Amino acid sequence: MLQHSYRYPAPRETVDFVSNGMRQMRGALTPAQDKRIAGLGIAMPFELWNWADTAGAPRDVMDEWRHRDIRADIQAQCDFPVYLQNDATSACGAELVFGQAGAARDFVYFYIGAFAGGGIVLNGRLFGGPTGNAGALGSMPVPGPDGKPTQLIDVASIAMLEKALNARGVEASHLWTSPEDWGEIGPELDDWIASASRALAYAIVAASSIIDFEAAVIDGWMPKA
């Protein structure tokens, strides 16, 4: 597995990472193994240019995503199909196939990563909607710290925890490089868990008022504890 952590996603660097990674990984395969590659999947947030402020990224860099077709850029380098899907929808699909949702055929799924997002499973199948963006739970309105409406992404995202730690002068890159163990973080983690939990509870009730889900699954890039 190859992994690269970054402050914010830039199109050129992302494509370069994939290109170099494919060469490195395919170079370690025999010709027979290489022929067995069935395809390449890209899981990423859609409309990244709308999340510049949340990501703490330069607007001009994030706006480059508006004019790039990363699937086409990578497909041009591949002799096998390249697929693109919303990252939280992909995670929801993985939960459906490999996860612990059990026999539930209808559930709402929340993924807590750099940004909070989610997905929907109906009748035992992943539901992406006509644009592939169904279950974009990060944009669901929830009460903010001051009681005024905000979005789930602005409360429950790990980026919000990182922002709180940086404000105290704490370097927080380990949130991304060590998801199995964050170590001792301090009161900012307790505050974030409390805020995120309230927002998630509100979002679950709101989602369940539309569809009578059997379960709500909460997953994420964070330690089990």
**pLDDT digits over 132-170, tens only?**
778 889 999 999 878 889 999 999 999 999 999 999 998
Count of C-beta atoms within a 10 Å radius of residue 120: 23
- Nearest residue to 138 via CA among 151, 119, 150, 126: 151
- pLDDT value, residue 80: 96
For position 211, what pLDDT does the model report?
94
pLDDT tens, 74-128?
999 999 999 999 888 899 999 999 988 778 899 999 999 988 999 999 999 999 8
DSSP reduced 3-state for 35: coil
For residue 117, what are the CA distances in angstroms to 13, 137, 183? 24, 5, 25
CATH of domain 88-220: 3.30.420.40
Q: At 188, phi and psi to the nearest 5?
A: -60, -35
β-pair partners for 190: none
- Would you state the torsion angle of the CA atoms of residues 216, 126, 224, 46, taken in this order, to the nearest 10 degrees? -110
Tokens at residue 107, please?
């559930």
Q: Where in the chain is the domain with CATH 3.30.420.40?
A: 88-220
- How confident is the model over 213-224, as a mean pLDDT? 93
Locate tokens 């163990």: which residue?
A: 181
